Structure 1
Amino acid sequence: MDPEPGARPAARGQDGMRVALAGLTTRGRSFLAAGVAAGVCAYVLGQEDLLRVGLLLAALPLLSAVAVHRTRHRVTSSRRLSPARVPVAAEARVHLRVDNVSRMPTGLLMLQDRVPYVLGPRPRFVLDRMEAGGRREVSYRIRSDLRGRYPLGPLELRLADPFGMCELTRSFAARDMLTVVPRVEPLPPVRLGGGAQGYGDGRRRSMAVAGEDDVLPRGYRYGDDLRRVHWRSTARYGELMVRREEQPHRARCTVLLDTRRIAYRGAGPGSAFEWSVSGAASVLTHMLERGFSVRLLTDTGSQVPGGGAASVGDAGAGTAEAAELLMDTLAVVGHSDGAGLSRARDALRQGGEGLLVAFLGALDEEQARIVARMRHRAGGAVAFLPDDGDGAGEDRPAGDGRAAGGAGRVLREAGWTVVRAPRGVAMATVWQRAERERAGAAEGGDR
């Protein structure tokens, strides 16, 4: 087989023929044994006609092995995913294509593609005799209830000669990757604070310039408009200076995802952690669509994008590309072994302006106070806490049978909007509930 780029080269020469002879079927070995036996009998009995029959019987499986050995170097394959990125529980279709690039027809071909067990059983196909220069295409569907990145391949191909004397199984080395991202729910527009001129507007604003003394000049660059030359700065610095272009400002949103293993109970598609991951994906996508610059932050302090206060979706980055980057990150995010949220708090100190949306696991009072201090630099803060129906989501860490105090109360006193999310509830429902909670807290403060 002529493998696709990156495939393992097939064995050639003497090693290849040794492998081909090892692939003789029961029929091929029987013909070879009968030919040898006929040759021995012809030699003992002096029968030339029997010797010819023996040579024919022995030559047929050997010629079949040679034919399969030559043919297997001249078969190519390719795989195409449609699409290569799917949400949880959605189906993707895998298209396989096999080309016979030799001048000889192939025998019966059997295909088997390797897939992880979470995607279902391994698909198998039987292809009829393929003519010289022929092509065959097959496809199968896969789906997963668990997010992640799953390798597909390598493709295994079994070649057989037309007489069924020899069969060889070879694998192409090329693999493809299927990315299963969290489910994203459409969210209604609500007003949560922290946005430009209220929530949800997300339009760019120009920074106001109070006067000539407030202008931030920079050095002249070839091609700059001479009408932008700032003469006062030019005289001060002794070189040609121009006014900076007005810098666009976008409303920012940070989504904090608590991934601590000790903060969640259970596992699997219906667990509280998976709900939090799906909720974070929904909020990030919603904010991008509303024109916000967004950032994903975890309890370990890792950020997307990394470093500082930069956000995905800033000027120059497309919304679709930003969403793909975030979804790819959430597709593989897992539990951390950390016990606290202090590293996330330190990361927010480097740039936590704008709206802060936190998907938290179970909190004790100490961790609740750490989260409460994150509110100081945020324009608005909303926390979603899991609710297992017994108060565990708010008042004690998972697995701890003792009440650890009112974590929700600590957050509310610090100015957070706290929403408890019962298991299985739609994200759109708790998203609207957050707006009502915020409005109720504002009315209570006015009174």
Structure 2
Amino acid sequence: MNPLRVLTLRGLGLVLFGAATVATGYQLGQRDFVVLGTLAFAIPLLGLLTVTGTPRRVAHTRALRPSRVPVGTEARMLLQLTNSSRVLPIGGLLGADSLPVILGQEPRFTVGYLGPRDVRDLGYRLRPQMRGHFRIGPLRLWFTDPLGCVRLPRTLGSSVSLLVTPSVVALPESPLTGGAATSHPVAGSGEDDVIPREYRHGDDPRRVHWRSTARHGQLMVRREEPRSRDRSEILLDTRTTAHAGVGPDSSVEVCVSAAASIALHLRERGHEVGVSTTADGEIANGPERAILDALALVRPVPPGKGNPTATPLSGGVPDLAASATSGRGMFVAVLGALDDADTATLVRARETSGRAHVAVLCDLAAWPGQDAPRRSEQALVSAGWTVLRVDSAHELARTWPHPPARPGSRGGDT
């Protein structure tokens, strides 16, 4: 430890004054100057001795509640400092918690005097405006002597994780989530089939087929026909070249929020939902929590980077649209800026499947010109896509109810 690095301006001034006074006293032969200089020089050194062992007496705990929040929702960090010594107090204690810049200014604390066995509770609130995974901590402390000549820095404890999931807007009912389901007769639970089977213990008596019972001389129940699984797929455009802006209002944040809103909307209506990106392929295929957690970590990726087995927008989309959906499921592409080749790929994707295809075009993306979104929209609508133009997730909530169920419609038509 370099003593000069822990001296405050006051302490450094005393050291320099003391050294100069001692030197002057020796040169002039003045003993009083030497004593005064020695005293001034010794004060910061004595202060350093008083705080050197202090950090070992401080214990620290932290708790983040909750550790997983949506964008714009409040979380609270609870800190507790304890002086573990039974005899020695701690004075002049300052603190600051380490925060990523994107979460705001670091909280600072003036703890002050901490007596033997004293406990001090500290806390602050966070309201993150950006999704992602963040490390909060460790706690930084500064121990000062009573005269303020020394400030000894120490890092205490470790960091904790905060996961911020995308903001989600509620989408109203829409014809887009309707459609016919295919099915195959098997024994299970679902709609009635005319083919009966023998009664089994636990079968619902209301399913007894009396005509077959009379014919066979034993209880017979209707077989059942389940609906096929409704599976939808969401493709999220994560190309850096397709997006514009930074921060919460950037096009990539609008697209991620739109993808999360659509995924949860479909899950609430019984669909299985898979989420893929143009850089990493499938990132989630499960419950709402898994989808939101995966989308919280999505980042724009330059062309050519990412998972080589992913489904880039330039190819593979037709196969994904055809193979990843079933039943009444739909294929949803949440997109940044498109060029002619991208639009042509999406047109081919529509030709490979008869299920609903929805394209969400973000007006904030890095479009090559003012007319580009309209041209891409017209080409996709002509190919049978339902197109929604949005500039925020809240705009998606306004547009979502209106697209007709028939293919080849423009979002917002009434």
TM-score by length of 2: 0.70
Change (3 A) 1:439 1:75: same
Kept in 2: contact 1:194–1:379 (CA 8 A)? no
Kept in 2: contact 1:259–1:334 (CA 8 A)? yes
Q: Which residue of 2 aligns with 1:129?
A: 113
Kept in 2: contact 1:262–1:398 (CA 8 A)? no
Q: Which residue of 1 aligns with 2:358?
A: 382
Task: Please identify which structure carries the higher strand content.
Answer: 2
Equivalent positions of 1:26-175 (< 5 A) are 26=10, 30=14, 33=18, 64-103=47-86, 104-164=88-148, 166-172=150-156, 174-175=158-159
Is residue 417 from structure 1 mapped to residue 391 from structure 2 by the alignment? Answer: no
How many percent of aligned residue pairs carry the same amino acid? 33
Kept in 2: contact 1:114–1:152 (CA 8 A)? yes
Of 288, 305, 330 in structure 2, the residue corresponding to residue 355 of structure 1 is 330
Equivalent positions of 1:268-417 (< 5 A) are 268-300=247-279, 302-305=281-284, 311-313=285-287, 323-338=288-303, 340-348=313-321, 350-353=323-326, 354-375=329-350, 376-377=352-353, 379-387=355-363, 398-400=367-369, 406-417=375-386
The one-letter amino acid of 1:123's match is P
The one-letter amino acid of 1:303's match is E
What is the deviation of 1:125?
0.9
Q: 1:286 & 1:410 partners in 2: Cα distance?
A: 27
Deviates more, 1:376-385 or 1:118-127: 376-385
Change (3 A) 1:24 1:431: same
Kept in 2: contact 1:115–1:153 (CA 8 A)? yes
Is residue 251 from structure 1 mapped to residue 230 from structure 2 by the alignment? Answer: yes
What is the deviation of 1:75?
0.9
Kept in 2: contact 1:300–1:341 (CA 8 A)? no
Q: Which runs of 5+ in 2 are unaligned?
A: 183-187, 197-224, 304-311, 410-414
Q: 1:165 & 1:421 partners in 2: Cα distance?
A: 59
Q: Which residue of 2 aligns with 1:438?
A: 405
Q: Deviations for 1:275-300, whole angstroms, at most 9, x for unmatched residues? A: 22111111112222333221111123
Of 397, 402, 405 in structure 2, the residue corresponding to residue 428 of structure 1 is 397
Q: 2:12 & 2:383 partners in 1: Cα distance?
A: 81
Per the alignment, in what secondary structure is the counterpart of residue 175 of structure 2? coil
Q: 1:441 & 1:176 partners in 2: Cα distance?
A: 49
Q: 1:278 & 1:19 partners in 2: Cα distance?
A: 50
Q: 1:158 & 1:194 partners in 2: Cα distance?
A: 62
Kept in 1: contact 2:130–2:248 (CA 8 A)? yes
Per the alignment, in what secondary structure is the counterpart of residue 169 of structure 2? coil
The one-letter amino acid of 2:108's match is R
Q: Which residue of 1 aligns with 2:200?
A: none
Equivalent positions of 1:231-246 (< 5 A) are none
Q: 2:348 & 2:386 partners in 1: Cα distance?
A: 14
Kept in 1: contact 2:14–2:41 (CA 8 A)? no
What is the deviation of 1:27?
5.1
Kept in 2: contact 1:251–1:293 (CA 8 A)? yes
Kept in 2: contact 1:297–1:344 (CA 8 A)? no
Q: 2:377 & 2:38 partners in 1: Cα distance?
A: 89
What is the deviation of 1:154?
2.4
Is residue 183 from structure 1 mapped to residue 167 from structure 2 by the alignment? Answer: yes
Q: 1:131 & 1:67 partners in 2: Cα distance?
A: 15
The one-letter amino acid of 2:332's match is V
Q: 2:246 & 2:40 partners in 1: Cα distance?
A: 62
Change (3 A) 1:278 1:66: same
Kept in 2: contact 1:206–1:249 (CA 8 A)? no
Per the alignment, in what secondary structure is the counterpart of residue 141 of structure 1? strand
Kept in 2: contact 1:259–1:299 (CA 8 A)? yes
The one-letter amino acid of 2:405's match is R
Q: 2:40 & 2:280 partners in 1: Cα distance?
A: 73
Q: 1:328 & 1:430 partners in 2: Cα distance?
A: 26
TM-score by length of 1: 0.66
The one-letter amino acid of 1:285's match is L
Q: 1:168 & 1:249 partners in 2: Cα distance?
A: 67
The one-letter amino acid of 2:362's match is P
Change (3 A) 1:410 1:301: farther
Q: 2:124 & 2:362 partners in 1: Cα distance?
A: 38
Q: 2:60 & 2:122 partners in 1: Cα distance?
A: 11
What is the deviation of 1:87?
2.7
Kept in 1: contact 2:338–2:376 (CA 8 A)? yes
What is the deviation of 1:158?
0.7
Q: Deviations for 1:212-263, whole angstroms, at most 9, x for unmatched residues? A: 9xxxxxxxxxxxxxxxxxxxxxxxxxxxxxxxxx999642121111222333
Q: Deviations for 1:176-223, whole angstroms, at most 9, x for unmatched residues? A: 23333221111222232466759xxxxx966999999xxxxxxxxxxx
Q: 2:345 & 2:12 partners in 1: Cα distance?
A: 75
Q: Which runs of 5+ in 1 are unaligned?
A: 1-17, 199-203, 213-245, 306-310, 314-322, 443-447
Deviates more, 1:124-133 or 1:366-375: 366-375
Q: Which residue of 1 aligns with 2:176?
A: 192
Per the alignment, in what secondary structure is the counterpart of residue 284 of structure 1? helix
Change (3 A) 1:297 1:205: farther
Q: How many residues align?
A: 358
Kept in 2: contact 1:300–1:344 (CA 8 A)? no
